[in-house]
Structure formats: C-alpha cells, structure tokens
Amino acid sequence: MQVIICGAGQVGFNIARYLSTENADITVVDQSPELVGKVTELLDVKGLVGFASHPDILEQAGAADADMIIAVTYADEVNMVACQICHSIFDVPTKIARIRHHSYLDPMWADLFSRDHMPIDVIISPEIEVAKAIERRLEIPGAFDVHPLANGKVSLIGVHCTPETPILDTPLRELTALFPDLHIVVVGIWRDGQGIVPRPEDVLLAGDDVYFVSETTHVARSMATFGHEETEARRIIIVGAGNIGLNLASAIEKSHPQVSLKLIEIDKARAETAAQALDRAVVIHGNALDAEILEEANANLAETVVAVSNDDEVNILTSLLAKRYGCQRAVTLINKTSYAALVGPLGIDAVVSPRAITVSTILQHVRRGRIRSVHSIPEGFGEVIEAEALETSSLVGVPIREADLPDGVIVGAIVRGDEVIIPRGDTVVRANDLVVIFAATAAVKKIEKLFAVKLEFF
C-alpha cells in the first residue's frame, strides 16, 4: 500500500508510525523541514518538504501511484485542496481529511464533500471525536476507556484494578463459573508497562489496567464485578471552552439535562462565546489554577472535573487541585505521550488522548478486508477490531478452539442479527456474523487476511 500523509504533526507522525511497521510505502509531506527531518530520522518513511496542497509537491510524493492520501495538516483548507487535487489530477482511490472548523461540519452543508463537489471519502474531526469519547467515559464512571462496537450492541471497556477489586487473584477461566450471567471476555491486561494477552490461567493484580468486551446491556453488572459502582455524575466542571470543551458542554446539555454544568475559561472572548452558545451551563471567566475560581465553581461538591484546555500542564494541575478540593473524579486531556504514564499514580482517573482517538478513527479506513471499526489500545499493545465474517474465512464453520487463529488473538464477542454471543471454546462463527476480536500488534495483518474477500468468494 502506498500512502501519502500530509502533515507531520503529532497525528501525522503517529499515523506514519503505525503504518510504517506494517511495510506500507509512506511519504510524509510538510512545509516544516524540522518536522520532516524528525519523522524521517525516527521512522522508516520518505519525507518531502513543501506545501501539501501544491500539485507538483503531491506529484513528487508519488500521488500518481498512491492508494490513499491522509491529509492532517493544521489547515482545513490545505487538507481539502490536497484531497481535491489527488482526486481530480491523480485519481487517488481513498482520500481522508482532518476538518476542524464547525462551519464545514454543519449538516446543512453535508453535500459539500460529495463526489460531485469536493470528493473526500472520510472526514475526521478530532474535537468532535474527543468530546464523544469523554461523554462515553462520563456515562460509565469508573471506566478509563469506553468504545462502542457492533452498532452499540457491544462495548470495549477499560478499568483500573485496585486493591479493593473483588476478582483479584482469580484465574480468568473461573469467572464464568463464579458469575454465570456475566457476559464479558477479558481481552487485554496492561501491567507494569507491558501488554499481556490473557490466558485462561492468568489472574488480575492490583494496579492492572484491564480491557474487556461486554454486551452493552451488561456493562453496569460488569463494572460492579470489578468493584466500580459509581453513579453517573450530576455536577460536572469543564476546564477549557475551546472546541472540545464547547462540543462536550453542548452534548451534555442536550443528552443529560439533569447535570449541573460549569465551564471555566481563562480567555475572556472565548468565555463570552461559550456563554452565548450554551443554554444552561454557568460559564466562569478565570484561571482554573486559581483557588478562588475553583471555589466559585464549587469544586468541593463536583463529582467530576474534565480538563480539556490547550495546555497539558494546566489540565494535569487543575485535575489534581480539583480532586484536592474534594472533586471525586478527574478526566484529563493530554497530548504529550511522555505525560501519559505519569498521571495515573498522581490520582487522575482517566486520560484522554486526541492523538490516539484520531489515529484509531483513521485506522479503520486503512485496514483491509471486511473491517467495520478499529480501536487502538495505547502504547502499541494491539487493536480491537470489528469485522464481518465471510463464507471463505477459515474462522467460519468450526469451533473457535479449533480455528487457526494467530498467537495474540482473542475473540471477544459475536453479533448475529440482534443476538450478542459471548464466545466460549465450542462457539461456532457463521458467515455474515460480526466478530469483535482483540489482536496484538504483531497479529493485526494476519487478522486482516482472515477477513479479506478471497477470489473464490465470487
């Protein structure tokens, strides 16, 4: 696969990092020599300094032979023009663009990106995706990661194990006997900086981060099994009224009218914009690191603080201060990967990474075969993949224990029509089933082939 990535910032760099490990032919274009130098020095990719929207630069990048362009520069207009040129001049099959400005994303103008006008196949809006991800975490308190699969019938949940977690030191194979009505499969364990693909004899330890797949209607019961029975927050403070904070506040006002919402913003003009855009939320102009501002926001009474300003350090410190004042839970936006490992021990409950969310969104369009969605588990551990099983797949028609699955692969759930099946060893996958699979990074390409459309299918 030949891919052109326009933009060598955090998102572009990390997409290139993912794809370069899979033997894709990658060319990264950016107008900054420093960023291009960094990406070519650290990754096995080609780099080109220039404007991503210029036809001659795209031609030098290999657009005539490219299978895909992923335009993730900081300028929406550059991303759109790059995709348009790749379509009109070079006939690139797949065009993905990051679009951030709300005006372009208004449903009123949805026809703008049709094939007859500006032919972009996939629009990625990080701020909207991040706001949705935070809202899901707020709906399932106690989870640090939540991702819906199979049209919402199945959920991928990430939880922390504490010394109070009831199922510590219990072999995973015994969970079914202890909780026969518990419809979950543990698909990944993150322990001491290492990813573990669990085996039936493995046990959970305090300090583990556990990823499990559950039938969505059983999520509350599943969380209780891990000792998390927190109630959904009724009093929330959002720090930062940028695109993410404003999108999140609007979504909470619309979907959760029972929530008392306060928004803290240091920039006066932005605070005024937020106050005009929101109906019920109280907008406070001030510095969230100021004790008086936190007291005005009643941080001592809030159940959750969501820190989504443009500054990682402010987000981290605000979260810690709010918890010190008595706020029960902190959800914190962090862009710098170097900070992610530090904040857990500090007491931050959930970290949100715009980079990881955007990369996961893009990966589902990069993956081949009948793959519906992809969720990347951090630190390059693996991916949870939702795919459609075809008649020609070797997974179909045999018990899962007899299927020739690669090492590092666990089947987490099967969706057959409206039925959700939590698989056991004797479960048989049928053609057209939706299958939710965890694959360690080394096994992802093999899973793609497992769900590929083979020639004999036709």
> What is the tens place of the pLDDT at every residue in 253-267?
999 999 999 999 999
208 plus 173 within the same structural domain: yes
DSSP 281: P
Position 230 in a domain: no
Is the model's pLDDT at 46 over the cut of 60?
Answer: yes
Angle between helices 33-42 and 10-20 (to 10 degrees): 30
| Whole-number pLDDT of residue 176 | 77
Is the model's pLDDT at 132 over the cut of 50?
Answer: yes
Angle between helices 243-255 and 126-139 (to 10 degrees): 40
Is the model's pLDDT at 246 over the cut of 90?
Answer: yes
Cβ contacts of 76 within 8 Å, gap of 6 or more:
97, 98, 99, 100, 101, 104
pTM of the model: 0.83
* Last-in-domain residue among 99, 124, 149: 124
Look at residues 353, 378, 341 and name the one whose alpha carbon lies nearest to residue 156: 378
Cβ contacts of 224 within 8 Å, gap of 6 or more:
none
DSSP percent split of the chain into helix, strand, coil, nearest 5: 35, 25, 35
- Structural tokens at position 299: 């941080």
369 vs 102, residue with greater confidence: 102
* Last-in-domain residue among 66, 97, 124: 124
313 plus 273 within the same structural domain: yes
Round the CA-based radius of gyration of the chain to a whole number and report it: 23
Place 111 in a pLDDT band, splitting at 50, 70 and 90: confident
**Residues facing residue 325 across a β-bridge:** none
13 plus 117 within the same structural domain: yes
Least confident of 79-88, 148-157, 387-396, 415-424: 387-396
Is the model's pLDDT at 221 over the cut of 70?
Answer: yes
- Structural tokens at position 321: 């201060």
Q: Are 8 and 35 in contact (CB under 8 A)?
A: yes
Q: Are 157 and 223 in contact (CB under 8 A)?
A: yes
Look at residues 6, 3, 28 and name the one whose alpha carbon lies nearest to residue 82: 6
Beta-sheet pairing, 434-440 with 382-388: antiparallel
298 plus 326 within the same structural domain: yes
| Whole-number pLDDT of residue 453 | 53
| Whole-number pLDDT of residue 280 | 93
Position 361 in a domain: no
Position 110 in a domain: yes
Domain of residue 269, CATH code: 3.40.50.720
239 plus 350 within the same structural domain: yes
| Whole-number pLDDT of residue 369 | 59
Mean pLDDT to the nearest integer, 183-190 = 91
Domain of residue 370, CATH code: 3.30.70.1450
* Last-in-domain residue among 322, 338, 356: 356
Position 281 in a domain: yes
User: What's the domain count of the chain?
Assistant: 4
158 plus 100 within the same structural domain: no
141: number of CA atoms within 13 Å, CB side? 15
271 plus 215 within the same structural domain: no
232 vs 33, residue with greater confidence: 33
Query: Please, what is the average pLDDT of the chain?
Result: 89
Residue 33 burial by Cβ neighbours in a 10 Å radius (0-12, 13-18, 19+): exposed
Separation between Cα atoms, residue 105 and residue 123, nearest integer Å:
9
**Structural domain of 30:** 2-124
| Alpha-carbon distances of 238 from 248, 251, 302, 306, rounded to whole Å | 9, 12, 11, 5
Coil, strand or helix: which one is 47?
strand
Is the model's pLDDT at 21 over the cut of 80?
Answer: no
Is the model's pLDDT at 297 over the cut of 60?
Answer: yes
User: In 10 A of CB 407, how many CB atoms?
Assistant: 9
Distance in angstroms between the alpha carbons of the first and the last residue of the chain: 23
314 plus 427 within the same structural domain: no
Separation between Cα atoms, residue 195 and residue 22, nearest integer Å:
19
37 plus 114 within the same structural domain: yes
| Alpha-carbon distances of 28 from 17, 52, 225, 251, rounded to whole Å | 11, 9, 46, 35
136 plus 54 within the same structural domain: no
58 plus 8 within the same structural domain: yes
341 plus 415 within the same structural domain: no
Position 209 in a domain: yes
Place 241 in a pLDDT band, splitting at 50, 70 and 90: very high
**Residues facing residue 396 across a β-bridge:** 429
Q: Are 64 and 34 in contact (CB under 8 A)?
A: no
